[in-house]
A and B are shown apart, each in its own frame.
Chain A
Amino acid sequence: MDFSFTEEQSMLRDTVASYLADHYSFDQRKAALGKEPGWSPAIWKAFAEELGILGAPFSEELGGLGGGPIENMIVMEEFGKALVVEPYLGTVVIAGGFLKHSGHAKAAELIGQIISGDAIFAFAYAEPQGRYNLADLKTTAKKDGGSYVLNGHKAVVIGAPYATHLIVTARTDGGQRDAAGVSVFIVPKDAAGVTTRDYPTVDGFRASEVYLENVKVGADALVGPEGHALPLIETVVDEAIAATCAEACGVLRKLHEGTLEYTKQRKQFGQPISAFQVLQHRMVDMFIGVEQSISMTYMATIKLDSAERSKSASAAKVQIGKACKFVGQNAIQLHGGMGMTDEMAIGHYFKRATMIESAFGSTDHHLARYEFLSLGQAA
């Protein structure tokens, strides 16, 4: 049993943390988000060239750092602490995951472009009607000789405004919610027939509604087996969940630390409000929520390559969802009116925590998935 990090992993954490401390303060982030394009290509370039972290989970043969899920976890937790919006999740974790697992012919080439910072991906999986069911797809991909023609509407595609490529889930066969008939495609964002409606999100990201109208892509756009890609999608989404849980751990740590700090310096009734036992117990419960979240994130990350992958990812997401609600809401409560202001960082962590609750499936969704995986179908 060993929960310690290797020297390389600790160095990775230190590198990311110290870079973000210098270049991604709350004010620097606010300035970058407040103007177009709403993220920082220069930071992305630095991630690729100065830090080399866009290759963190890829093998050395591909030009990466030779890491895996634990390296993603380390990077994402640090990103959570600084509320980074740059698309590591969509590009490195998700697109990288699809390329690694699918044995796609162009995987090495595209991963090389990810590592160099040239290819940026967004994951277009959700649809307006589908809630969190990954197989609920109205978007179609019809085979047309040696190519596919895609039609459909993808909802709230996080990071699409920054992307060069989209990973699109679509139905090549079957009924709207059938497990069979689901396929995955890489679609260049500038392909003819792709239009987007871009907007900011409540937690500072940019996203798009993506409309596909007779978008023609080559046979090599297909990722994974045609019509049988749902297990691949589930694998990658579980990896994305583990990475999002790691990000949440960073967010939760900041919410808790910020609250401790604030209550120690805020005086009412002639004493710091941290001296009141009712607030002490609340902060202890918040602390327990943070610690349990870290434990579950480690667990889910370690189990990504095991038979318990899905169950573990859902279990972690449930724990993180509950902690995001409890820790986030109480961080605001204990900051009083100050917690309600846009000028304090705490509210921005709260907003991110709230949106993580429903990312890749709400607490209810994952509790139901866990129930099914652990207890079987209800009688």
Chain B
Amino acid sequence: MNLDFTPEDNAFREEVRAFIADNYPAALRAKQEAGETLGKDDFLLWHKVLAKQGWIAPGWPKELGGTGWTPTQKYIWSEEQARADTLGILPFGVSMLAPVLYTFGTDEQKAKFLPGIYNGEVWWCQGYSEPGAGSDLASLKTKAERITADDGKEYYIVNGQKTWTTLAQHADWGFFLVRTDPTAKPQAGISFLLIDMKSPGISVRPIITLEGGHEVNDVFLDNVKVPVENRIFHENQGWTCAKALLAHERSGIAGVARSKRGLEKLRSIATTERSDSGGALLGDSFCRRKVAELEIDLTALEFTELRTLAGEASGKGPGPESSILKIKGTEIQQRLQELVLEAAGHYGAPFLADLGHNAGVGPDYAIDAAGDMFNGRKTSIFGGSNEIQRNIIAKMVLGL
């Protein structure tokens, strides 16, 4: 057992830290600091820098563009990005669809779709949840019927509705779970389709969330014609792909490095804010205790993640234990948001998000405090709710 980073690891840290400092787009930094709403191109600025550098997909196999980094190096990389407050890389293509593609896709499919994901040229969205299929995803009803068209080619005709589709308003393509065999058991009749979002019959309707933002959407599919070659893996075996993808979705969700950075920010806010007696809020015994408890929770999560990471290094894939990371990771993120809102005091109340920062009312850090806290409630709901994660641990880990 050894917790030290090797000299090579430390040199790697210096290298990536310097790279971020030298290459992070200044225009994007300025927008983030001003609290401006980011447009489609903004999301992709940093992605494209990293693609050029060859660092956009550390998790991919090396021959497909992965970095070949050790798990420790990947960990350092995520820590340094969080430390520098870089914009998160959109997960839909790089870390959700790509592993499905290179695990289950044909050579033609890999050649067709992986480069667009890598270069950030194609924006992907995820068509999983439906109004009636959330936690019980396998009950999804969006129907795909296979036909032979007049051109002699085979197509699926897709009808149904997907929901909670994150940033679908920007998407070029989507990966969808659809029902190809309505007579089979729920999990057995599902296929995994890639659909061009410009296809006739697709419409996207915004869902405004409670803090006032537009991140998620309903996606309606009305007789959408999808070539059969856009199916990944076998017909009716899409659930296998879906499960693999969800495991990847979960392992990234601990967010330790981002939470560490969040904790630093909380400490700095609580040092700036005054307590009832006029000293720093962080000197107040209630505040101190809550921050200390959160730091301990985060340390426990960090070392649990490191153990998972070490397991991966010795060849174990992300298993059902990753549900622990999802549960604790999201709880800690939500707790951080609560404490920032508490620290903001009276200035948590003004709704100024549409004005960006420097609205001239209260401190900058207070402006998004309530909105972030409201929006952050989603994290214990999406990607398999924390109740579902507990079911997974009960079943898969404890054998109950």
Contacts and interface: CB of A to CB of B under 8 A. Distances in A.
Contact of A340 (B139, B210, B387): B210
Given A267-B132, A336-B134, A278 B387 contact: yes
A239 interface: no
Interface string A315-331: 00000000001000100
Contacts of B134: 268, 336-337
Interface in A325-368: 325, 329, 332-333, 336-337, 339-343, 347-348, 350-351, 354-355, 357-358, 362, 364-365, 367-368
A65 interface: no
B276 A336 contact: no
For chain B, the bracket of interface size reads 35 or more
B11 interface: no
B279 to A, nearest CB: 11
B249 to A, nearest CB: 16
Contact of A341 (B207, B276, B334, B373): B207
A207 interface: yes
B210 A365 contact: no
B183 interface: no
A336 B135 contact: yes
A159 to B, nearest CB: 12
B351 A201 contact: yes
A258 interface: no
B287 interface: yes
A337 B164 contact: yes
A156 B350 contact: yes
Given A133-B276, A202-B351, A341-B210, A354 B373 contact: yes
Interface stretch (A72-80, A123-131, A166-174, A185-193): A123-131
B62 interface: no
B210 A269 contact: no
Given A336-B385, A337-B382, A364-B286, A129 B136 contact: no
B274 A130 contact: yes
Contacts of B284: 364
B112 interface: no
Nearest to B353: A202
Given A156-B346, A269-B136, A340 B351 contact: no
A357 to B, nearest CB: 8
A155 B349 CA distance: 11
Contacts of B360: 197
B349 A156 contact: yes
A337 B166 CA distance: 12
Contact of B377 (A132, A200, A269, A340): A340
A291 interface: no
A200 B209 contact: no
A367 B210 CA distance: 30
B275 interface: yes
A238 interface: no
A288 to B, nearest CB: 19
A309 B334 CA distance: 34
Nearest to A325: B338
B352 A337 contact: no
Contacts of B346: 126, 128, 131, 155-156, 358
B374 interface: yes
Given A156-B350, A355-B349, A333 B377 contact: yes
Dominant SS among interface residues on chain A: mixed
Contacts of A104: none
A146 to B, nearest CB: 34
B314 interface: no
B274 A131 contact: yes
B246 interface: no
A9 interface: no
A249 B392 CA distance: 36
B212 interface: yes
Interface string B216-248: 100000000000000000000000000000000
A177 interface: yes
Given A201-B349, A207-B350, A339 B381 contact: yes
Among B133, B135, B378, B381, chain A packs the most CB atoms within 10 A around the CB of B381
B76 to A, nearest CB: 34
Contacts of B281: 131
Contact of A332 (B139, B341, B377): B377
Contacts of A343: 207-208
Contact of A199 (B209, B278, B342, B350): B350
B317 interface: no
Contacts of A367: 286
Contacts of B209: 340-342, 347
Contacts of B212: 342
Nearest to A361: B276
A354 B374 contact: yes
Given A269-B136, A341-B209, A341-B210, A358 B342 contact: yes
A176 B377 contact: no
A329 B377 contact: yes
Contacts of A197: 360-361
Interface string B311-354: 00000000000000000000000100010011001111111100
A281 to B, nearest CB: 11
A170 B352 CA distance: 27
B120 interface: no
Interface string B192-223: 00000000000000011111100010000000
Contacts of A158: 349
Nearest to A132: B276
Interface in A269-306: 269-270, 273, 276, 278-279
B350 to A, nearest CB: 5
B276 A337 contact: no
Nearest to A201: B349
A71 interface: no
B136 A268 contact: yes
25 contacts: A128-B347, A129-B274, A129-B278, A131-B273, A131-B345, A133-B278, A158-B349, A177-B277, A201-B351, A202-B349, A205-B349, A207-B349, A209-B361, A268-B139, A269-B135, A279-B387, A333-B381, A337-B164, A337-B381, A341-B207, A342-B212, A347-B374, A358-B345, A358-B346, A364-B342
Given A132-B345, A347-B374, 10 more contacts: A156-B349, A202-B350, A202-B371, A268-B134, A336-B381, A337-B216, A343-B207, A354-B374, A358-B345, A364-B342
